[in-house]
Amino acid sequence: MAFSRKKGAEFTGDTVALEGVELRYEDGPRVLADVNLSIPQQSFYFLTGPSGAGKTSLLSLMYLAKRPTQGRIKLFGEDVWEAKRARLPVLRRRLGVVFQDFRLLDHMTAFDNVALPLRVAGAGEITLQRNVSELLKWVGLEDSMNALPTQLSGGQQQRVAIARAVVHRPKLILADEPTGNVDDTIAMRLMMLFVELNKLGSSVIIATHNEHLVARFPFPRIHLENGKVTVHEPAGANP
Give the chain's largest Cα–Cα span. Answer: 51
Binding of ligand ADP by 55 (CB under 6 A): yes
Range 83-91, long-range pairs (CB < 8 A, 24+ positions): 88/64, 89/120, 91/64
Q: Which of residues 187-226 bind Mg ion (CB under 5 A)?
A: none
Task: Mark the segment that binds ligand ADP (CB under 6 A) among 50-58, 129-137, 157-165, 166-174.
Answer: 50-58
Q: How far is the CB of 101 from other proteins (least distance, A)?
A: 9
d(CA 172, CA 169): 9
Nearer residue to Mg ion within complex by CB, 56 or 113: 56
Cα–Cα dist 199/148, whole Å: 32
48 touches ligand ADP (CB under 6 A) = no
Instruction: Give kind and range of the element (H or E) at residue 22.
Output: strand 16-24
Cα dihedral 196/201/203/206 (nearest 10): -10
Residue whose CB is less far from other proteins, 123 or 188:
123
**Position 214 contacts ligand ADP (CB under 6 A):** no
Q: Which residues contact residue 89 at a Cβ distance below 8 angstroms, ignoring those fewer than 6 apart?
A: 120
- Choosing from 43, 56, 156, 208, the residue that interacts with ligand ADP (CB under 6 A) is 56
Burial of 211 per CB tally in 10 Å (0-12, 13-18, 19+): exposed
Report CA 130 to chain centroid distance, whole Å. Answer: 23
The site that binds other proteins (CB under 8 A) totals a number of residues, namely 27
Nearer to ligand ADP, 31 or 95 (CB): 31
Is there a contact between 85 and 162 (Cβ–Cβ < 8 Å)?
no
Does 31 bind ligand ADP (CB under 6 A)? Our answer is yes
Per-residue binding string, other proteins, 12-31, x by CB under 8 A, is --------------------
Q: Can you tell me whether residue 153 is helix, strand or coil?
A: coil
- 83 binds other proteins per the rule CB under 8 A: no
User: According to CB under 8 A, which residues from 86 to 115 bind other proteins?
Assistant: 86, 88-90, 92-93, 95, 97, 99, 103, 105-108, 112
Closer residue to other proteins in complex, CB, 128/214? 128
Which residues make up the interface to other proteins (CB under 8 A)? 63-67, 85-86, 88-90, 92-93, 95, 97, 99, 103, 105-108, 112, 116-117, 120-121, 164, 168
